Structure 1
Amino acid sequence: MTSEHDVPADVVERFGSYARETSALTARVHGRLAERLGLSQTDEKCLDLALRAEGPVTAGRIAELSGLSTGAVTGVIDRLEQAGYVRRVRDPHDRRKVLVEVTLGEEARSARLSLGAQAALAEVLSRFTPEERDVLERYSKTVIEAFRKRVVDA
């Protein structure tokens, strides 16, 4: 959905600043989580991408979403598999295709929760009415869609 509303440059700059700060803090959260899981930040981020997929995912899809080469993703998957966070499985619909399935143990799930990111998000969202949260959700989805078109799908 597009709009006819002009956005002043100072508003774009302000929101850009918020986005950069959020991105930097999110990277730090992922860095701490990676450290707790004994992974590099790249490996943890790929694990996160696989975790958010609806079921097993191809290495190619992880490469596409992460921006890494397929060769680099093969190394990531090797390390994640060795650490016990994922396993390779055959695609039940095409036995020639290999999928990556997340096998996070309870310790890893606890590490993710112990950072308190979900609690912080719940605290922030509690400051907004349901109607305001609807607007925030629409904004977030629109930003994701716009960035995905320019970065992932380009």
Structure 2
Amino acid sequence: MYRARKSERDRLREEIVELMQTYSVEAQQVGHAFAQRHRLHPTDLQALIAVMHAEGRGEPLTPGRLGEAIGLSSGATTAAIDRLERAGHLRRSRESTDRRLVHLRYGEPGMALAMEFFGPLGKRTDAMMAAFSDEDLDVVRRFLHGMNGALAAHRAEVLTAD
């Protein structure tokens, strides 16, 4: 039976998808290694990453927004925050005149552990990115924004279907 050859675009698409899947698995394994080394639950690591990204954007998370971001119930979110706070990875901060409003901040001891563990990865990442022009990196950034949007939309659809 005659089988049509794949176009270059189809071949590239398949290779990109495979590379992204490999990247995802590698990133998860690195995250799990950090979590195991510091006796963190995988959910705790997701919480830390969400808090770190929100802080980096200048939009610290509240416990409720953290729960929404990582798909946890209120009780499970509180338990994760308590564990992370006890371990020094996270701190609760009241920065508003409304004392009921709590923001979550990355704790200094936790940040030091993260820098020690992930610092070498950051150097490897910087070295790899140095080989690309600003224009190339902008294309990659736009692509990843689009892919993250597609993945988030699919996740939301799947979760609402249950």
- When normalised by structure 2's length, the TM-score is 0.75
Q: Is the 8 A contact 1:65 1:152 kept in 2?
A: no
Q: Equivalents in 1 of 2:46, 2:74: separation in Å? A: 15
Aligned to 2:37: 36
Equivalent residue runs for 1:112-131 within 5 Å: 112-114=117-119, 116-131=120-135
Aligned to 1:137: 141
1:89 aligns with 2:89: no
The sequence identity of aligned pairs, in percent, is: 28
* Superimposed CA distance per residue, residues 8-55 of structure 1 (whole angstroms, 9 cap, x where no aligned partner): 655443322222111100101111222333322221221111011135
Evaluate the alpha carbon distance shift between residue 129 and residue 107 of structure 1 in structure 2; reply closer, same or farther with a 3 A threshold. Answer: closer
Alpha-carbon offset, residue 146 of structure 1: 2.5
Evaluate the alpha carbon distance shift between residue 93 and residue 149 of structure 1 in structure 2; reply closer, same or farther with a 3 A threshold. Answer: farther
* Larger relative contact order, structure 1 or 2 (CA cutoff 8 Å, min sep 6): 1
- When normalised by structure 1's length, the TM-score is 0.78
Query: What's the C-alpha RMSD, in Å, of the aligned pairs?
Result: 2.6
Q: Choose between structure 1 and 2: higher helix proportion.
A: 2
Q: Equivalents in 2 of 1:22, 1:93: separation in Å? A: 43
Deviates further, 143-152 or 120-129: 143-152
Q: Equivalents in 2 of 1:95, 1:69: separation in Å? A: 23
- Rg (Cα) greater in structure: 2
Q: How many residues align?
A: 147
* Superimposed CA distance per residue, residues 99-131 of structure 1 (whole angstroms, 9 cap, x where no aligned partner): 2222132632433434x2212211221222222
